[in-house]
Structure 1
Amino acid sequence: MTKTLKDKIVWITGASGGIGEALACAFAKEGASVVLSARRADQLERVRLTLPDPEKHLVLPLNICDEQAQQQALAALLERYGKLDWLINNAGISQRALVMDTTGETDRKIMEIDYFAQVALSRRVLSVMLQQKSGQLVFVSSVAGLVGTQYRGSYSAAKAALHLWANSARAELFEQGIRVSVIFPGFVKTAVSMNALTGNGEALGKMDDAQAKAMTAEQFATASLKALKAGQSYIVIGGFKEKLAALVSRLSPELLYKLIRKSKVR
């Protein structure tokens, strides 16, 4: 069943660039009113002005780890629109460090951004959706959260945790009109590796070779929207190797471990 997005209110976090910006454009073209959140207000405003009918969209700057700011942003959204149909949990940060080179502080920072903050915002939004008796949660996880790879130990753990929390929420809330989908991107050509944390918590500052040769954010957004409109809940988007790894992780974990050891992920 294909879902219509016309006149839907869609809140996208991490919307100041990359995947979030591409998703915002894709949803806006489908007729949705898009709420754009991230820390950089100037970049959010830039994105808003590129969308069809810019005045119907809303910029809400947000530090996703600040729960008080989450509540204030949700209140502002409801004051403007009176409802919320979709939440796209896209904000996050990646990692480029071996497990033995990663500090506990960096572990906790990644988990805070990529798991705890997403769950906290989702609970706040669910309080509204449950009153409406309808709503769609979407989590942008990662193929790394399905398979685990070198240089992404903490990131893979956070994305896996997000996936399994979403599974529980899907099972618990289905009868109350709430739908939950998880998207597992492979490599996408964005600044994610530039901003990824090294072991001591500093930004890597350069793009991985695998990232540079990957699909574009626009290609990712198009594939994501098609799957979401079709009502899919488990969505793997990537090249042949990433899709194969996701499949093998379910069919033969031991084979997966051998393949991962030989794979190039930088």
Structure 2
Amino acid sequence: MQNTKLKDRVIWITGASGGIGEALARELAADGARLILSARRQSELERVRASLANNAQHLLLPLDITNSQSITSAIDSIKQLIGGLDWLINNAGISQRALITDTTLDTERKLFEVDYFAQINLTRQALPLLLADGGGKVVFVSSVAGLVGTQYRGSYSAAKAALHLWANSLRAELFDQGLSVATIFPGFVKTDVSRNALTGDGSALGQMDDAQANAMSAELFAEKAVKALLKGKNYIVIGGLKERLGALVSRLSPELLYKMVRKSKVR
């Protein structure tokens, strides 16, 4: 059943060429939203658009989110071709699968560039469009790893934690201007995120983790995420029992969390 709250809403999704981004696009398009889809690969964006409801109305904007000028050009295109923006979903990102002692500084910087600096730069540049009609919604896809910190994800966890706290500040500063800011913390979701994750020297891992292979589907994740966003929730943890428990314990007892993480299997 279509959710009428989303009909004709203009929603920009980054990282829309696969995984969580593609699943969110399907869920939102089925509810009547008009989408702007961004990722680096035009051919994959075209594949995703072809699979969506009302596919002719969705705009493709190929984009490298680490290129500030490309972001500026993309926003100019949205102004010219659509005129406004209701939601921005910051989903693009890259994960990590390397111990701290095996990770180079260049790899650490790349993770922060993609998972933190690019996200906040895009959001800041999009704010005038989002605020133009009295407020919009910004959604950040962080990670349960950004709440708990785990082995093999030192810099990734740190970048996702930084994104979460920047979102908190943005929410507080622009609340009076009508901006809604939500942060989603996925646990394990069955996507190619581990295949594309950076190893210590910056190369891709190239294989799927066991935890990823046995995780919830991207489609189920998207269904839960959209439902929570439409309820107005701003702190959204989606994952299996262990991930949800970890997120809860992180708030109630950090000392217990540290013990749990040490014993956890995260690969």
Q: Partner residue of 1:159?
A: 160
**Cα offset, 1:220, TM superposition:** 0.3
Alignment of 1:120-135 (within 5 A): 120-135=121-136
Q: Distance in 2 between matches of 1:171 and 1:212?
A: 38
Q: Distance in 2 between matches of 1:3 and 1:138?
A: 20
In 1, are the aligned partners of 2:4 and 2:32 still within 8 Å (CA)? no
CA distance in 2, matches of 1:113, 1:211: 21
The offset of 1:3, in angstroms, is 8.1
Q: Percent identity?
A: 66
2:86 corresponds to: 85
1:178 aligns with: 179
- What secondary structure, in the 3-state scheme, does the structure 2 residue paired with 1:11 have? strand
Matched, 1:208 2:204: no
Equivalents in 2 of 1:55, 1:30: separation in Å? 15
Distance 1:199 1:160 in 2: 20
Distance 2:55 2:8 in 1: 14
Q: Distance in 2 between matches of 1:260 and 1:51?
A: 39
Partner in structure 2 of residue 13 of structure 1: 14
Residue 28 of structure 2: aligned partner = 27
User: Which residue in 1 is equivalent to 2:245?
Assistant: 244
* Counterpart secondary structure, 2:5: coil
TM superposition shift of 1:205: 0.3
For 2:104, the equivalent position in structure 1 comes to: 103
Partner Cα distance (1:145, 1:3) in 2: 33
Shift of 1:131: 2.7
CA distance in 1, matches of 2:237, 2:4: 19
Mapped partners of 2:31, 2:55: distance in 1: 14
Q: Give the whole-Å Cα distance in 1 for the aligned partners of 2:135 and 2:260.
A: 41
Secondary structure (helix, strand or coil) at the match of 1:12 reads: strand
Give the number of aligned pairs: 265
* Structure 2 CA distance for aligned equivalents of residues 85 and 71 of structure 1: 18
Gaps of at least 5 residues in structure 2 are none
- Residues 1:233 and 2:234 are matched in the alignment: yes
C-alpha distance in 2 between matches for 1:41 and 1:158: 27
The answer as to 2:59 corresponding to 1:42 is: no
Task: Give secondary structure in 2 for the equivalent of 1:4.
Answer: helix
Q: Tell me the TM-score normalised to structure 2 length.
A: 0.98
Deviations 1:166-212 (A, max 9, x none): 00000111110100000000000000000000000000000000000
What's the offset of the Cα at 1:130?
2.4
Q: What residue in structure 2 maps to residue 141 of structure 1?
A: 142
Q: What TM-score comes out, normalization by structure 1 length?
A: 0.98
Matched with 1:65 is: 66
RMSD: 0.9
Structure 1 residue ranges (4+ consecutive) displaced by more than 6 angstroms after TM superposition: none
Q: CA–CA distance in 2 between the matches of 1:122 and 1:129?
A: 9
